[in-house]
Amino acid sequence: METLIHTTLESDGVLVATIDMPGRTMNVFSAELMDALDALMDRVDSDAAIRSVVLTSGKPTFLAGADLVMVRGYTDSAKTGTHDELFSMCGRLGRQFVRLEQSDKPWVAAVNGIALGGGLELALACRVRLVTDESRTQIGVPEVRWGLLPGAGGTQRLPRLAGFDAALDMLLSGRSIPPADAVRLGIFARALPPAVLLDEARSVARALHGEPFDAKAKFARLTQADVPPYSPESARAIALRYGVSAADFDLYPAYSAIVDSVLKGARLSLAEATDAEMTQFLRLMFNPVAGHMVRTLFLERLRAERELAAPKGKGIERVEIGALGPACTSWADALARGKVTQAANGSLPQDTIEIVDLQGERHRVALAVLDTEAGTAPTMCLLSPAGPYGRVMEIIGANDAAAMALAALAPRLGALPWRTPGPTSVLQKLKGASLEDQARTAVQYAATSGAGDLAFLDVASCLAGVTPAWSGGPLHWLWDERANVVPRFDAASRDAWNRLQPALHRAFA
C-alpha cells in the first residue's frame, strides 16, 4: 500500500505529518487520503509519545481540495442512493475534521502553498494555522464555481474565524485571497517565509502541549452575533447583497445552499453545524446542476485540455501581426498578456496573423471574436471573452499543421483550443439561442464528420459563456430533456439524434 502521509516523531513529542500523494502534482482529498488520515488520527490518539501534530505537505502546494472524480461519484450515487446513505458517504470528511479539531493533542497547520476547498478546510480544523507568505500561495473555497459548497466545515469555520461578511464574500464568489489577507481576516495566525514556516509550526505546537481544545480560544467570532437569523427571504436578500443576481440565485442552487448553511449552522456546536452543512450539501447532490457542472467544467474540461493540447515539441517562435481593427482589441490584449513574441507585418491583411512555429513553418490565420460576426477564411480563429471558467479559441477550418500551431498558442492566451471544421463558427451559431435551439444546432453539428468528441462541444460552449453552466452544455441538457425536446425536432435534427443516441447514452446515462 502506498504511503500518503509520511511522519517523523521528534524527541519533544511533535509529530511532523507530511501529506505527499504519489503520482500526483497536487495533493487532493480522495477516499485513500481519508483512510490515511483516519489511521494517523488513531495513532495520534493512542501513542502517549505523541503530544502534538504539525501537518504540512511534501509538494509545492498544500492541498488543492477534493478529488472531483470522487465528487462526481457522489452525484452518480445520488441517482439511486438514499439520503442516509449519502449523508454517511459524503459527510465522512467533515466528521474527520471535527475529530481532529477536538483532539486533546493540538494539530498545527503549516500551509506551504495553495490551500483550496478541502485543503483549506483541513487547515481550518487545526487549532493554529500558519501559512507561507509567498505570492503564489492562494487561499480559498472555490466550490461554488462547480455548483457545490465546501462540505467539510468550510461554511461553518470561516464565519467563526473571519466573520460573516468576509466569509460570505469568499464562499459566494469562490475567489481566492493572498496570505496577507488571510492573516488580516483571522483565518491564519501568521504568514511566514517558507524557510522558517515548519520550524515556527513546531514551536507553536510545543507551546500547546497539554492544553485541551477550547473553541472560545480558537474562534474569534464563536458567538456569531454578526450572523442574522434564517428565513428564505433573508437568505435571498443576503445573496443579492453579495452580487448574486436573482436569476442566478434561482438557477444555481449552490448559492442558496451556501447561505442556508451559514445561517442554519450559526451558533451550533461544530459537530451539529457540520451536520447542518451536510444537509445543504446533499441538496446539491440530489440536484442535477452540480453533477452537470462538475462533469463539464472540471472533469471533461481537464480531459479536453489534455487531448486538445499541441503535441510535445510543437511550439511558437513568434507571431507576426497585421493591423488589428477595433473588433480584435481582445486579441491584442491576450497576446500581450501571454507575453507572446510579436512582430509587425504590414503585408498582412487587417485582423490577420502569421504564426511562425519552432520548425520555421508559417501559418496564416484570420482573427475573429465571439461578439462580432465572423466571415469565412481558409483558416480562422475565434477568441471568446475571458469568463469565470476561462476562454475558448475556436480553430475553424484549419489544416493539421495550422491547428497544432494554434493549439500551441492557446495556453499562452489562457484558452482551450477547440477545432471545428468550418466554414463558419459553431460558437457563434449557439450564441444567443434558446437552449432548445442550441440543442438542435449542437446535435446536427455533432453528427457531422470532423465534429470531434461530443463532450468537448459542451465544454467549449460553457467555457465560452454561450451556454449556461448549470445546463452542462447543449448536448448534456438535450439528453436530460430528450423526452420533451426530441418530439419537437425537425427531420434533420431527428435524424442526427437517431444517429447520435447510442453515443449520447454512453456519455450521459
Q: What is the full DSSP assignment across 170-219? A: HHHH---B-HHHHHHTTSSSEEE-HHHHHHHHHHHHHHTTTPPP-HHHH-
Which are the contacts of 35, defined by CB distance < 8 A and separation ≥ 6?
Answer: none
CB atoms within 10 A of CB 432: 9
| Contact between 357 and 405 (Cβ < 8 Å) | yes
Q: How many CA atoms lie within 13 A of 46 on its CB side?
A: 6
> In the block, which residue shows the cell 445546463?
471
Q: Of residues 101, 121, 134, 300, which has the active-site annotation? A: 121
CB atoms within 10 A of CB 487: 8
How many whole angstroms separate alpha carbon 388 and alpha carbon 385?
Answer: 10
Is-catalytic flag, 121? yes
Cis peptide leading into residue 349 (ω within 30°): no
415-420/391-396 β-pairing: parallel
Which of 307, 294, 280 has its CA nearest to residue 70?
Answer: 294
316-321/380-383 β-pairing: unpaired
How many whole angstroms separate alpha carbon 367 and alpha carbon 370?
Answer: 10
| Contact between 354 and 348 (Cβ < 8 Å) | yes
Q: What is the full DSSP assignment across 323-387? A: ---GGGHHHHHHHHHTT--EEE-TTSPTTEEEEEETTS-EEEEEEEETTS-----SSEEEEPPPB
How many whole angstroms separate alpha carbon 117 and alpha carbon 144?
Answer: 10
Is-catalytic flag, 233? no
* C-alpha Rg value of the chain to the nearest Å: 25
Which of 447, 500, 489, 439 has its CA nearest to residue 468?
Answer: 439
Residue 125 sits at φ, ψ, to 5 deg, of -75, -20
CB atoms within 10 A of CB 229: 9
Q: Of residues 32, 101, 134, 143, which has the active-site annotation? A: 143
Cβ burial of 89 (10 Å; 0-12, 13-18, 19+) is middle
Question: Count of H helices and E strands in the chain?
Answer: 24, 15
| Contact between 410 and 319 (Cβ < 8 Å) | no
- 219: its cell numbers: 474562534
The catalytic residue positions are 121, 143
